[in-house]
Structure 1
Amino acid sequence: MRLILPAGLALLLGSTPLWAQTPAQTGATQYPLVLENCGKRLTIEAAPERAVTIGQSATEILYSLGLAGKVKGTSVWFNPVLPQFADVNATIPRLADNDPSFESVLAQKPDLVAVQYEWHVGPSGIVGTREMFDDVGINTYIMPADCDTKDNSTGGDGTRVGAFAPEQVYKGITQLAEIFNVQPAGRTLVSALQATEAQAVARAQALDLPEGLSAVFWFSSADLELDPYVAGRLGAPGYMMGKLGIRNVIESDEEWPTVGWETIAKADPDVIVIAKMDRRRFPADDVAAKMDFLKTDPVASQMKAVREGHIVVMDAHAMSATMRSIYGLDSLSQALSDMTFE
């Protein structure tokens, strides 16, 4: 089975990408810093002192860069914070488990708002538009993984116009490190993620998985009687499957299309990956409800993956385009090592 060279190794062996070629790569940030972010030109006059995060991805990246002391409020959580940040996270106000109000963000008096999803802060953001924040003198930074290869004007979770790749996450890490003038921390974090990716791919390669191995990623369902939200081919789950040589039975370019169980069962994936999360918007957010459905539904229960117990539980946050996607790749690789395929 042919596996793809880890993108992280390609970066180490090849040329430095344009987004990483900055004067601050080997020295301190020169302010004012001007950069392009999701179609908007940002001017950062000085390293932010007060940041608010809208999205777990932005929160965990700032924590990983050693910037927890500058985070004055967080929001939009799918899973518990990474274990190494549990103590510090408990001291930082959580503005909302899901969507914060514009007013609650302003109340923290931030000089930067770091955002995971453009649908929270964007042209029709449910928290606010970037112009609304501009009007009160607050810079907004949206994680590039949500916009560099994605069209969010299509509604819902958006449509990928190009495949997600971890370089988009590394770009966000590198730019946030530059904004806050902590470039060494950014380089250290990117290197660690690249090493995790390479390890996961090498482990899967050693398994010699069968050709044509297929999978589906189930995030949630608005109702268990309705079609589930499953991963399209170009998002973070598509990246994981591509790196491990697995075929996604869902061919849509939408981030999370709804597809009927009859269609999924007809494709009969070898592996089903289900999202585990603390969020409870829908009944199927509960991983136990997902498991019960798969084992009792007259259609879903007949799938090969269900019959053979090839069901992998993965943190929901890893299924989004975040640095956790690299950890998700690693956990999927480990789960496959415990499975037997005929």
Structure 2
Amino acid sequence: MKIARHFLLPLSLIPASFAMASDTEYPLTLTNCGTEISFSSAPEGVVTVGQSATEILYSLGLSDRVLGTSVWFNPVLPEFSEVNAGIERLADNDPSFEAVVNRRPQLVAAQYEWHVGPTGSVASREQFHELGIATYVMPADCDTKDNSTGGDGTRTAAFSPTHVYKGITELAAIFDVQEAGKALVTDLEAREADAIAKAESLELPPDLSAVFWFSSPDSSVDPYVAGRLGSPGYMMEKLGIQNVIQSDEEWPIVGWEAIARSDPDLIVIARMDRRRFPADDIEEKLNFLHSDPVTREMTAVKNGNIIEMDAHAMSATMRTIFGLEMLADSLTTLSFER
């Protein structure tokens, strides 16, 4: 069974320093992912390296400050289609350092430290700072996470949406739009609570289990699946689902034989526009699951309990809440007879 994608409108655990949503007093100094950053005024122009930062800035009413975007997994939220079409996309994936700098931003807002960080694929934070360009990395990618382990990093504690809300609140403070930040976080918190309540109202099996498949370098090799402490792990924990993957890595590589032995009741597969790997294509994923002699015998495949979810919702972003909602809705339509 294919579950249609849900696009939902745009989230508050407000830090005490911003609880009253008052005007920003400059200079503003924050510690962001271990780096102290300061602003003498709201940035006039920003380049985003990551869809998460882009959509948060749009949701805060700051699209007029965005000079260029990059690193996209899915189409922009539909309410921002028109405004996004008028903003230059520097790259679908990693932009070059020169492409970002040439837009002359006062701020670079990044979703991942592996793009803008100690060994950033775009540049280090120091490279931007030497040019007088401030950087901000979304806290959801560094709070409770060690990105020095390589790959997509390792979670040191479970992801919580509070880290996403922190990023929204701090960006709202940087740009002096705290009321917009508070409204966004409040809305997302309400959606989160409603989705959890919906799942709690269902008579789900107490041992219901799942695996989240993001992609694979090739459909014939071991997949990247969600570890227990990342965004998908949060969704499963809140909805009463057991993750058959117990790794603390964000996206560990696990063999299909091991996954099949765990025999999850539900398989959630990522839908994305990105095409770095053949298995980025959701049709490749579906064809593999139904044709491979190991995966086609899995309970979830036989019962048609395969859910398609936007890849961006599987990352630690604002869209995690949308993924939580979609997963809760999907659980109302599936049968888990064994």
Which TM-score band applies after superposition, normalised by the shorter structure?
A: over 0.9
Cross-structure match for 1:312: 307
Deviation of 1:203 after TM superposition, in Å, equals 1.0
Q: What corresponds to 2:5 in structure 1?
A: none
Classify the secondary structure of the residue corresponding to 1:295. helix
Decide which of 73, 79, 82 is 1:78's aligned counterpart. Answer: 73
User: Alignment length, in residue pairs?
Assistant: 327
* Structure 1: gaps (5+ residues): 1-10
- In the aligned structure 2, how far is the partner of 1:303 from the partner of 1:226? 17
- d(CA) in 1 for partners of 2:200, 2:172: 33
The answer to whether residue 95 in structure 2 is matched with residue 107 in structure 1 is: no
Residues 1-342 of structure 1 mapped to structure 2, 5 A cutoff: 20-22=15-17, 25-342=20-337
Moved over 4 A (4+): none
Contact 1:37 1:141 in 2 (8 A): yes
| TM-score, normalization by structure 1 | 0.94
Deviation at 1:275, TM superposition (A): 0.0
State whether residues 24 and 30 of structure 1, in contact with CA within 8 Å, keep that contact through their aligned partners in structure 2.
Answer: no
Cα pair 2:18 2:169 within 8 Å, conserved? no
Q: Distance in 2 between matches of 1:48 and 1:205?
A: 43
Whole-Å Cα distance in 1 between the matches of residues 227 and 18 of structure 2?
37
- What is the percentage of aligned positions where both structures have the same residue? 65
Which residue is 1:5 aligned to? none
For structure 2, the residue ranges without an aligned partner over 5 or more in a row are 1-10
User: Using the alignment, how far apart are the partners of 2:70 and 2:277 within structure 1?
Assistant: 19
Whether contact under 8 Å (1:35, 1:42) holds in the other structure is yes
Deviations along 1:254-282, one digit per CA (max 9) or x if unpaired, are 00000000000000000000000000010
Give the secondary-structure state (helix, strand or coil) at the position aligned to 1:157: coil
Q: After TM superposition, give the deviation of residue 133 of structure 1 in Å.
A: 0.4
Structure 2 CA distance for aligned equivalents of residues 250 and 289 of structure 1:
22
Partner letter of residue 124 of structure 2? Answer: T
Cα contact 2:158–2:230 (8 A) shared by 1: yes
The superposition leaves residues 279-329 of structure 1 with CA deviations (integer Å, 9 ceiling, x where unpaired) of 001010000110000000000000000000000000000000001000000
| 1:25 CA drift (Å) | 3.2
TM-score by length of structure 2 reads: 0.95
**Structure 1 CA distance, aligned partners of 2:44 and 2:20?**
21
TM-superposition CA deviations, 1:107-157 (whole Å, max 9, x none): 110001000000000000000000000100000000000000100000000
Q: Indicate if the aligned counterparts of 2:210 and 2:267 stay in contact, CA closer than 8 A.
A: yes
Q: Deviations over 1:28-78 (max 9, x none)?
A: 100000111000011111001100000000000000000000000000000
State how far apart, in whole Å, the 1-side matches of 2:306 and 2:219 are. 18
Note the alpha carbon deviations across 1:217-252, whole angstroms, 9 max, x for none: 000000111100000000000000000010000000
